Chain A
């Protein structure tokens, strides 16, 4: 065999191509991954891992549910109890759309060491649903007419309160005073007076109080705490959060049950401390639309956004609040606003500064809400050095005029349009989310979080933390301190909207600055 020069050229001619491509691919990969790791090293942000909770051992914790409406049913599911109707519906949904994972997620959920033993609901149909669905051969769910009877029965160790707002505090106070642990939905209270009363009782009681801000379990928020703590954003001067919904469900016009009447509903018990009016189905099922039982955007949805940020920044109660808005999108007899703009001032708060000492201090928290538009406005924390978008995903963009990153900008290692940090625990997991309202909550990280790529219901984690505290001790992530901050902020907002003036907080005395001739609680409760 003999090779000619021509053979060698044509035989080996493409070898340099392989070498060239290998070099180009390897060096571009190595350079970009080196730049990335340099950047991450400099930022030093630690993506959080889920806390390892000890096992909730011993005898099962006996839980009673007070209020089995929309939220009560969701809470029971998170606790591990789904109604027969729901299971059937989800089975059907799965047959229609294999992407529908609600049933699978529920079945995969870790089983908690609890028994659902009691129910308190003033609508017979709902109470019977609980008894029929959750009673087993060993445990028959017992129905109580009032929360007092349930709490004093000796049958329950803990209660979950998912009632209209005006019942939250009276029930929580009664439970804690009787040594029964309580999980109460937000807002924690309906009036200022009961906020202080509940705080006093909770601090004295050995029983555990948990406020239902389940997003505190969202891993991206825990990572966000680290982003802020490391000074990544610099001094944050503005936070913007929003509510955008554009459907009847999102505007609290819930379904009115066909079997609802004054025979199946204990109307007097529903009213409680609220003004006496004749039986009204609309008020019963859509109570969030009236100040007498609910608190509209300020108590219902602002509290979520406020607590989300309080969880990340721990900024506490604002020095002052100005709110305005109106009923512009759902003129249907409601008296809570459906469009609301709130400015909260924190003149002494700072997330740290990269500039000359004393140049930066203070922050405005803007909450902007409408129930007449569904465009997804992101939650933004805007700092001198970077902007963070906070949701189930977390993204940080450097600011073009940042002091901290000036060198990196100049050397083109950073660009204002390219995120310097992104945390997406869902990693492209396909979701099947049907309703607009649940999408609204999911985008905000209020519904579930992702642990090792698996979608976990954050309410489940929140309940588990509460049960773990009950059995094993330790602090809760959303106890009375956090609830107090949230409730006072919501009430100050409601007052500002209703009075059309600035409401101020006196932090040394821990009171809302009085206004001559104005009884704050009367204003809050008034149907005006």
Chain B
């Protein structure tokens, strides 16, 4: 079929997007993992918006190190699953959760002072866009086409159907 002939189709675009987002998550996680001084304290303590009290509560001495650890762990998990294309639905799901939290910690609402932002935003910022992209990855898994899924979930028939 002509359509099948090494044409750059939607599937390839989603794979590219999946790897780029995974790349972003993994690097953020690794940089934090190897920096002993990193903490989310400042980011959470300066939180704004409707969920401010919740984020402030997370800065509590007793739990901040757990919060940091969970954040780093989740970032790396999302990064690896999306790049490798394995458990990617779960990865995308966790990614959506993380991005929603980041978005809500410092929401780009016009009535709030924007702290440490590199662009101009009005309700929509890059976190929200990346979140939407994760939603696409969640609904359109590609690990069985490009990724470890292709090896682990080897189901010739399914692959065949997919490739047709």
Binding site for B on A (CB under 8 A): 1, 3, 7-8, 10-15, 17-18, 21-22, 24-26, 28-30, 32-33, 36, 427-430
Binds A, one of B76-84, B101-109, B123-131: B76-84
CB within 8 Å for A25 and B34 given contacts A10-B145, A11-B148, A17-B19:
yes
Known A18-B26, A428-B45: A8·B151 in contact at CB below 8 Å: yes
What is the minimal beta-carbon distance from B50 to any residue of chain A, in angstroms? 12
Cβ A7 vs Cβ B41 within 8 A:
no
Task: Evaluate contact between A17 and B31: CB separation under 8 angstroms.
Answer: no
Q: Which residue of A lies closest to B146 (CB)?
A: A10
A-B contacts besides A10-B145, A11-B148, 4 pairs, CB < 8 Å: A18-B83, A21-B30, A29-B31, A427-B45
Interface CB pairs A-B, < 8 A, 9: A11-B150, A14-B84, A17-B23, A21-B27, A21-B30, A28-B31, A29-B34, A33-B35, A427-B41
Residues of chain B contacted by A427 (CB below 8 angstroms): 41-42, 45
Task: Please indicate the chain A residues that have their CB under 8 angstroms from the CB of B34 in the complex.
Answer: 25-26, 29-30, 33
A14:B154 contact, CB within 8 angstroms: no
A3–B79 alpha-carbon span in the complex (Å): 26
User: Hey, which chain B residues are within 8 Å of A33, CB to CB?
Assistant: 34-37
The secondary-structure label for the interface of chain A is helix
How far, in whole Å, are A261 and B146 apart by their CA atoms in the complex? 88
Interface on B for A, CB 8 Å cutoff?
Answer: 19, 22-23, 26-27, 29-37, 41-42, 45-46, 79-80, 83-85, 145-151, 154, 156
Contact B83 A3 (CB under 8 A): no
Enumerate chain B residues within 8 angstroms of A24, measured Cβ to Cβ. Answer: 27, 30
Residue of A nearest to B34 (CB): A29
Q: Which residue of the partner chain B has the closest CB to A7?
A: B150
Question: B32 to chain A: which residues have CB within 8 Å?
Answer: 29
In the complex the two chains form, what is the Cα distance from A175 to B150 in whole Å? Answer: 88
Partner of B45, one of A11, A14, A22, A429: A429
How far, in Å, is B31 (CB) from chain A's closest CB? Answer: 5
Q: Closest chain B residue to A452 by CB distance?
A: B61
Min Cβ gap A31→B in Å is 10
Q: Point out the residues of chain A lying under 8 angstroms from B83, CB to CB.
A: 14, 17-18, 21
Contacts of A10 in B (CB 8 A): 145-147, 150
Contact B26 A25 (CB under 8 A): yes
A433 to nearest B CB, angstroms?
Answer: 15
Q: How far is the CB of A30 from chain B (nearest CB, A)?
A: 5
Nearest residue, chain B, Cβ from A8: B151
Question: What is the CB-to-nearest-CB distance from A520 to chain B, in angstroms, rounded to a whole number?
Answer: 51
A21 CA to B78 CA, complexed, in Å:
14
* Inter-subunit contact A14/B146 (CB<8 Å): yes
- Which residues of A lie under 8 Å from residue B36 when comparing CB positions? 33
A430, B35: Cα distance in complex, Å = 25
- Asked if B30 contacts A428 (CB within 8 A), the reply is no
